[in-house]
Structure 1
Amino acid sequence: AVARALATRPRLLLLDEPLAALDARTRLEVRAQLRRHLAEFEAVAVLVTHDPLDAMVLADRLVVVEHGLVVQEGTPSDIARHPRTDYIARLVGLNLYRGQADGHTVRLDTGPAITTTEELSGPAFVAFPPGAVTLYRERPSGSSARNLWRCEVAGLETHGDQIRADLTGELPLTADLTTVAASELDLHPGASVWATVKATQTHAYPA
């Protein structure tokens, strides 16, 4: 279908969920081929997708629509590094919070403060990946992490080759850990844990 569409040398190509019906392995191969074709396409291509990986790999510029409204637009790298809504943060795999920055501290609108390496003033976002979160069953002593919160495990799910923990408490967040670590911590819904994140693993930017 893509070959037929490109054969007429159109000035505009619309791709509506082009990889949605493919299995995982085929999608990987077709995505790579489609990327090459679009790189050689000398007109405009518009891709509509709910798959963040398709968007990040295939697009030069993204427009994110929520509830019929454009909430953010920019290059894939900019949006991946500076998400501005919870929906976008989930798509790119980040924990995202909003608050008021004062130096290296961002006090969240609802919740505690987060220490960052960036120095800002005024409304700000703070983001960090689930893999930046370290979990303990007991309050850690001697930890170098500047951010420490008491949480409770709300749920666990397999995420690739890791376990993703959904946490509630002082700071709702998600954390990724290995299956071995999850087993050693005896994680289960309702378990109390301490979550830490180093300031160097956070990223703060103006809201």
Structure 2
Amino acid sequence: MAYSETDILKTWQLNAKPWIETLENGDIPSRALATNQAIVDACLSLKPQRALDIGCGEGWLCRALAEAGVEMTGLDGVPGLIANAQRKGGAQYLTCSYEKLLSGLPEGLTPPYDLAVCNFALFGKDLTVALAEVVHSLLTAKGRWVIQTLHPDYPMAAPPGSWATEDWSAMKRSFQSGYAWYRWTKAGWQEMLQRAGFKEFKWEEVYVGEASSPLSLLIEAGK
């Protein structure tokens, strides 16, 4: 079954406040233990000067990279998340959904960038395919796109290559309405990125503690 990309965005708009509170209070242990540092390290290892965080949420990654000297711009389609990011500062933040980005660059976006990053921010299928071509066009000749996503081998009821649903039940705070997201296989990621024009790939598995199964997959795609 396919799911509406618009409905995915609406669920994040409904849940902006509890999501901000969740991150501010460190309610997701895996982020503090491994995945936050993993994405920061992956980005900084490329020594970017100008970077674009697509699906930046409340802006924590933009702030972290800006503190390391990177000129950051964050995009997100949820006004409540962008408003929070703007209050905290550290970077330029623009309200722009993926759909709007596909139709034209928003005012304030000034490519090319030598890094684009999506941290647990790609939920759809067709929209991700279309977005990949746009990201490719926004990068310099040696630019890289760094993606962190739930590992395809992470045990879930929905297998890789299908849609999964999230009901927020594991969260400590009160969320409204669940959302759906597409679980890419590793081969699916590579095929999709190659179609968009990316030719170089680096893969890294991120583990939490001594877990036998990786939690996330870091993808570095270059031209």
Q: Under a length normalisation based on structure 2, what TM-score does the superposition of the two structures give? A: 0.25
Q: Which has the higher helix share?
A: 2
Pick the structure with more strand per residue. Answer: 1
Q: Name the TM-score, length of structure 1 as normaliser.
A: 0.26
Q: Whose Rg is larger?
A: 1
Higher relative contact order, chain-length normalized (CA < 8 Å, sep 6+): 2
